[in-house]
Amino acid sequence: MRTLRFTPLLALVLMTFAAAQTTRAATAAAGSYQFTLAGDKYLKYVEFEATAQAEGGATGYIYMTNEAIITIQDVDGTGDKGERFAGYTLKAEVDGLVVTETEVVINKEVVLEKRAVLSATIRDSSVLTLIGQRVLLTVADYGDNTRVPDGVTWGVYKPIVRDWVASDAELKEDPGVGLRWWATDAEVKDDVGYAMPRDESFGTKTFPPAAYGFVDADNTSGDIRVSS
């Protein structure tokens, strides 16, 4: 009587499964979420998918719709004429992703919060002036905790364009123009500091992930998933 042994085949299957699990464990965020704001009847919807790349950056997309009436104001004093729109849609191309895991207290309950910050550039929109602007989408995943709804917040930012260079008007050729330096706090021994002039582009490192406050959402549906 012959006995068939499947141990090598089983091992191969398990190795393949383990490799697949490792691949799935890559830093990523995805989901769809529909909601209104507290006291706001206008429906909002966000759908997104982002995966961090080993060489840096990320790939993916953000799709958003908002039925609320928005007014684009001239907050920078550039003289741009304010515009008013009855809702908008936009689709943005993701280029950055940062994920953090922290235990937080919500409604007197300690829960694990997986927070993701996505940065993207708007490639298409029903509001033409939004095309080319930057989007920072921040989401929170609280796992299967049905008592704590997932979190979401976002911002749209106009890129800063510096078309001038600061220099000493009394010097024909200011030797300080173009120099870079490292700024640190002299009173803090281990201050890591940061490079100057600072990067003014809007991305995942513009603000600390913990600095974002989530919107007060009502009538929520959908699911947000964050992995690291």
Per-residue model confidence as pLDDT tens digits over 200-222: 678 998 889 999 999 999 999 99
Q: What is the DSSP string of the chain?
A: ------HHHHHHHHHHHHHHHHHHTSSEEEEEEEEEETT----EEEEEEEEE-TTSSEEEEEEEEEEEEEEE--TT-S-PPPEEEEEEEEEEEEEEEEEEEEEEEETTEEEEEEEEEEEEEEEEESSGGGTT-EEEEEEEE-TT-TTS--EEEEEEEPPP--------TT-SS-TTTT--EEE--TT-TT---EEESPP-S-STTSS-GGG-----EEEEEEEEEEE-
Enter the tokens of residue 172: 């024909």
Residue 44: what pLDDT?
96
For residue 166, pLDDT over 70 is answered with no
pLDDT tens-place string over residues 6-56 = 445 444 445 454 444 444 457 999 999 999 998 888 999 999 999 999 988
Residue 75: what pLDDT?
58
Q: 124 with 107: CB under 8 angstroms? A: no
Amino acid in position 222: G
pLDDT tens-place string over residues 42-70 = 999 999 999 999 988 999 999 999 998 88
Residue 68 phi/psi, 5° resolution? -70, 150
Mean pLDDT for the chain overall: 82
Domain assignment of residue 74, given as a range: 27-167+201-227
pLDDT tens-place string over residues 98-127 = 999 999 998 888 999 999 999 999 999 999
Is 182 inside any structural domain? no
Amino acid in position 59: T
pTM: 0.73
- Confidence band (pLDDT; 50, 70, 90) for 3? very low
Is 56 inside any structural domain? yes
Residue 200: what pLDDT?
62
Average pLDDT over residues 180-195: 74
For residue 165, pLDDT over 60 is answered with yes
For residue 163, pLDDT over 50 is answered with yes
Nearest CA-CA partner of 201 in 163, 164, 159: 159
Residue 82: what pLDDT?
66
Average pLDDT over residues 151-175: 77
Amino acid in position 186: A
For residue 224, pLDDT over 50 is answered with yes
Is 161 inside any structural domain? yes
Give the C-alpha separation, 78 to 133, whole Å.
16
Is 3 inside any structural domain? no
- The phi-psi region of residue 14 (left if phi > 0; otherwise alpha if psi is between -120 and 50; otherwise beta) is alpha
CB atoms within 10 A of CB 94: 24
Quote the number of domains for the chain.
1
Is 173 inside any structural domain? no
